[in-house]
Amino acid sequence: MKLFPAIALTFTLFFSLRAHESPWTASRPDGHGPISVMGDHMHAIGEWMISYRYMTMDMEGLLKGSNSVTGSSQLTGMTTMVPTKMTMDMHMFGTMYAISNEWTLMGMLNYLDNDMEMIMPMNMSMNMGSSGIGDFKVAGLYDLAQWDSGRRMHLNLGLSLPTGSIDEKHTNGNILGYRMQLGSGTYDFHPAVTYLAQTDNYSYGAQLGSVLRIGENDQDYSLGNKFCASLWGARIVTDSLSASAKLNYSSRSEVDGEDTRMMKMMSPALNPNSQGQDITTFGLGLNYYFQNGGLKGHRLAVEWETPIAQKVNGVQIELDSTWTLGWQYAW
Ligand SMILES: [Cu+2]
């Protein structure tokens, strides 16, 4: 958590930042945050937005704490399956509607597609997959403050419902590990606070949020709570294009309790103590906003993120990169 004081200081600087002389506006390419940030903006009363995001996370190699280890070095004792590679693809469908100037409502449904490669003794390996809908999320964004100088702040109050399966199995009938499950199995509270600032050619944003699991799921465990801090800045390149840079820190605890259907000694993927991590990523993105013609109101965006520091609980696969592509349309 050495990063936390640095992040706190930067937030303080943000609040004292002098922006420009007109109110904050969404009508510019950087009027929306980098595409991986959820609930970054609000809408004016009566406005609708629909969106689709495709996110793909590539993981390869193994970390023990913050050190790289080989997969084969972990095949000891009763451990006979070690994950070495994973791809998580997510299709995210979202909608937003502003019921007033104070409240914007949001709904989001994900479709996930996971693929994991495990190595076993005697150079054998195995591929496993899971796919299906994730946890449906609803949220209300509440306008906390708006200043004439292009700054504003809002509160995010989100709740995810346990619509994603926690019973995903391999083709041989064995239950898959925690990361391969599609949902948390619990109702989760997603509070956050978001701060936005604009100058003529630049914009800044910060979001502090968390995911708090409510109770335990029907297998008597809960995924770790999550804390997340994001800071980003963007520059307008043309009237329609902006480029962004983002720092994101997230911390997730290990699994509380355990899924007793999993033989936890067999693989780190099945071990509740090998879940959760602290990760800091750096991201670069582009937002494109169609302001005229037949595509007026449409937005396209892309963002690439890569870890600059990663520390896992126990032994876990290492994140290489995340790509997010998105389309948004507001009217
Ligand atoms: Cu929106």
CB 299 within 8 A of CB 41: no
User: Of 185, 266, 269, which Cα lies nearest the Cα of 221?
Assistant: 185
CA 156 to centroid of ligand 1, rounded, Å: 13
CA 49 to centroid of ligand 1, rounded, Å: 5
CA 271 to centroid of ligand 1, rounded, Å: 38
Domain limits of the chain?
Answer: 3-330
CA 203 to centroid of ligand 1, rounded, Å: 17
Q: Which residues of the chain have pLDDT under 70?
A: 1-21
Strands 82-98 and 315-330: unpaired
CB 75 within 8 A of CB 120: yes
CA 182 to centroid of ligand 1, rounded, Å: 25
Strands 48-64 and 315-330: antiparallel
Both tokens assigned to 77: 């004792």
CA 200 to centroid of ligand 1, rounded, Å: 22
Tell me, what's the pLDDT at 81? 93
CA 41 to centroid of ligand 1, rounded, Å: 6
CA 44 to centroid of ligand 1, rounded, Å: 10
CA 217 to centroid of ligand 1, rounded, Å: 31
What is the b/e burial string over 14-49, where b = at least 16 CB atoms within 10 angstroms of the residue's CB? beeeebbeeebebebbbbbbbbbbbbbbbbeeeeeb
CA 104 to centroid of ligand 1, rounded, Å: 9
CA 98 to centroid of ligand 1, rounded, Å: 9
Name the E strands within 32-147: 48-64, 67-69, 82-98, 103-120, 124-133, 136-147
Where does residue 134 rank: exposed (0-12), middle (13-18), buried (19+ CB within 10 A)?
Answer: buried
User: Cα(133)–Cα(36) distance, rounded to whole angstroms?
Assistant: 19
Strands 103-120 and 124-133: antiparallel
Tell me the sheet residues that pair with 161: 136
Tell me, what's the pLDDT at 1? 45
CA 30 to centroid of ligand 1, rounded, Å: 13
CA 307 to centroid of ligand 1, rounded, Å: 27
CB 103 within 8 A of CB 58: no
Tell me the sheet residues that pair with 64: 67, 315
Please report which helix (H) or strand (E) contains residue 190, including its range. strand 187-198
CA 11 to centroid of ligand 1, rounded, Å: 24
CA 114 to centroid of ligand 1, rounded, Å: 27
CA 36 to centroid of ligand 1, rounded, Å: 13
Q: Check residue 295 and give left, alpha or beta (phi > 0: left; psi -120 to 50: alpha).
A: alpha
CA 328 to centroid of ligand 1, rounded, Å: 8
CA 298 to centroid of ligand 1, rounded, Å: 11
Write down the architecture of domain 3-330 according to CATH: Beta Barrel (2.40)
CA 52 to centroid of ligand 1, rounded, Å: 11
Tell me, what's the pLDDT at 22? 78
CA 81 to centroid of ligand 1, rounded, Å: 43
CA 117 to centroid of ligand 1, rounded, Å: 37
User: Cα(149)–Cα(83) distance, rounded to whole angstroms?
Assistant: 51
Tell me, what's the pLDDT at 77? 87
* For ion ligand 1, residues whose CB falls within 5 Å: 49, 96
CA 45 to centroid of ligand 1, rounded, Å: 12
